[in-house]
């Protein structure tokens, strides 16, 4: 396995729509997914999309383990904070409820920054696993946020583009100032 180089904001691969994965069962896709998982874990990420490692394909890996604690998660996001390690080719998202939740997001392609992003809180996602099986799940909270964030990469969208208020784009070192009660 190999730790891959992560593309940073501004690289053209992050700004384009990724191509469909023609055969999710192909050995080269399986190898790419293994390397993406190793890269994600090494970088302490919750997810990674193929364009982030300079491969313009519709492939994502993600996990939202219960023990992961990100600053600024709302109570609702803490509610569903688990997603198994998932590899998904050609994912599709369906919004199940128009209610949106704000949460602090970071990104391996936008290192050192966090932004407050509103996203739908309840989704269904589907795609294909590496054995060619259909995968469909319903997600809420942090699980839903991670899936949406990673799938945005497949459409050339980075989280700052989803922000309604760029005054809430801050350095990670300053998040603590935004989590304390306001006087």
| The two three-digit tokens of residue 7, written as one number | 């593309």
Q: Which of 77, 101, 105, 150 is catalytic?
A: 150
Q: What is the DSSP letter of 32?
A: H
| The two three-digit tokens of residue 148, written as one number | 């949406």
d(CA 41, CA 70): 15
Q: How far is CA 160 from CA 59, 86, 172, in A?
A: 21, 25, 14
3-state secondary structure (DSSP) of residue 111: strand
| The two three-digit tokens of residue 74, written as one number | 């709302």
Task: Say whether 150 is catalytic.
Answer: yes
Burial class (CB in 10 A: 0-12, 13-18, 19+), 119: buried
3-state secondary structure (DSSP) of residue 144: helix
Catalytic site residues?
150
């Amino acid at each position: 396995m190999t730790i891959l180089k992560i593309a940073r904001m501004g690289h053209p691969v992050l700004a384009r729509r990724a191509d469909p994965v023609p055969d999710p069962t192909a050995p080269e896709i399986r190898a790419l997914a293994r390397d993406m998982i190793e890269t994600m874990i090494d970088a302490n990420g919750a997810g990674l999309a193929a364009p982030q490692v300079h491969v313009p394909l519709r492939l994502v890996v993600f996990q939202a383990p219960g023990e992961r604690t990100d600053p600024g998660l709302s109570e609702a996001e803490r509610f569903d904070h688990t997603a198994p390690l998932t590899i998904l080719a050609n994912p599709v998202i369906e919004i199940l409820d128009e209610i949106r939740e704000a949460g602090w997001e970071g990104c391996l392609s936008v290192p050192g920054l966090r932004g407050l992003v509103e996203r739908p809180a309840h989704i269904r996602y589907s795609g294909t696993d590496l054995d060619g099986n259909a995968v469909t799940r319903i997600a809420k909270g942090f699980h839903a946020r991670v899936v949406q964030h990673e799938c945005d990469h497949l459409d050339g969208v980075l989280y700052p583009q989803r922000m309604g208020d760029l005054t809430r784009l801050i350095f990670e070192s300053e998040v603590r100032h935004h989590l304390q009660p306001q006087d």
